Chains A and B, each alone.
Chain A
Amino acid sequence: EAQVTQNPRYLITVTGKKLTVTCSQNMNHEYMSWYRQDPGLGLRQIYYSMNVEVTDKGDVPEGYKVSRKEKRNFPLILESPSPNQTSLYFCASTDGTTSNYGYTFGSGTRLTVV
């Protein structure tokens, strides 16, 4: 089944403790992206990647890092999480060649930083 898989689905952590949210897609997509969803703010892009080793900042990159060492994986790293990073996170991918260019999203990771 074609899908984007994120782990974990739920995570509670303490301020300052480094964490990684993993994202993997099995569709051989070139483009991948991370979004966060917050009430009243919709979905905001954190980082995106156009190919292996090619990444760029989205609208809210502060406090996050990403890497794209393999085409299928695009982990999101929070080096020193803070409570304002409590949010619902989505990873997404697209091949960019279909007529609709729509992203396929993962099921989400709900992160709570206390």
Chain B
Amino acid sequence: DQQVKQNSPSLSVQEGRISILNCDYTNSMFDYFLWYKKYPAEGPTFLISISSIKDKNEDGRFTVFLNKSAKHLSLHIVPSQPGDSAVYFCAASGSGTYKYIFGTGTRLKVLA
């Protein structure tokens, strides 16, 4: 049973526009969420995180929104740049476990 789901395998966005990547989870015990970016032939790179006590966290062009009642989080990238083209994974964990459950990833392509 997939506890963390990324239902869109791929997404294409025009340069300069907003990219919205979505993630759903089923386990209400998850209280920490992260987004990672992965380029080919490299390991995933941490991007941004959010604790369940917040509903929004911003870091430059990246914002993560958390809707606990819907068990849904999203990553917004504004403005999107060609260098943002990568696979994005969301991950979730319970308090202090460091046992992260990852989604299947969404491949973002930003068109110049």
Contacts and interface: CB of A to CB of B under 8 A. Distances in A.
B49 interface: yes
B49 A108 contact: no
Given A45-B99, A48-B99, A102 B104 contact: no
Summarize A's interface: helix, strand, loop or mixed.
strand
Interface string A1-43: 0001000000000000000000000000001010100001111
B98 A108 contact: no
Interface footprint category on A: 20 to 34
Nearest to B35: A102
B100 interface: yes
A94 B98 contact: yes
Nearest to A31: B98
A104 B46 CA distance: 7
Nearest to B103: A42
Given A42-B103, A48-B98, A101 B43 contact: no
Interface of B: 4, 6, 32, 34, 36, 41-46, 48-49, 89, 91, 93, 96, 98-105
Identify the 10 closest CB pairs spanning chains A and B, nearest first: A105-B43, A102-B46, A42-B104, A43-B102, A100-B49, A42-B102, A31-B98, A105-B44, A107-B43, A106-B43
